[in-house]
Structure 1
Amino acid sequence: MHLLHDPAAPAAAPIAFDDFLKVDIRIGRIIRVDPFPEARKPAFKLTIDFGPGVGVKRSSAQVVDLYAAEELEGRRVAAVVNFPPRQIGKFMSEVLTLGFPDAEGRVVLFSPDSDVPLGARLF
């Protein structure tokens, strides 16, 4: 198992609080889910609305093992919105949608357990 996915791995090296503040993690709502058949690992193309400050962005998410496209639409998710866009095949991913691995290594999306406004920033 990769160190990043190993729940028994020790915590990463300490960082300064200012470094944490540089990572802009926001809440968005998935407004569209498209298949991504050309991806190397099964994935969806997500279109996510982060509200007026960040706007609508796209992301690739390897979540097909646990989620159907229909249950993703309307779901609130957390994403890093200030990484540079990343080319994944012919698709440009603009944000990193966040999740945690379950016991089998499948991605479980990270989302708030109460309603928060689109664009709300993690602190």
Structure 2
Amino acid sequence: MIEKQDQETNWENFVKLLLSRLDIPTKQDINFLHVRLDKLEQLLYQKQPVAKKEKTQPTIRRKSASSIVLDVIANHPEGTDFKTIKAATGFDDKKLRNIIFRLDKIERIKRVTRGIYKKV
């Protein structure tokens, strides 16, 4: 019986010796690495504290192009022509014509005659 135990221990020692000399990881080594990797992943996925945003000045809202054109037309109670609106706003022809068309369609302005517009 003693011989069997010695043989088992000798084989066990031999295998351990081979594993260590050939740098082959054991099951314990692999489990240890898994635990370390799990800890690293947890650290990576933890929520980082969000820095408080500084209070900034309120943003100034710019007027839309339609409201600018409507203001120009409102400044002329008798009505104004296309050239005056174009000079006051600086918009190109196509943009200005589209704005005037939409304002007329939603009945914010009225076409007095061809090319003359008045606020309703």
Specify if TM > 0.5: no
**TM value normalised by structure 1:** 0.19
Q: Which has the higher contact order (CA 8 A, sep 6+)?
A: 1
Larger Rg: 2
**TM value normalised by structure 2:** 0.19
Higher helix share: 2
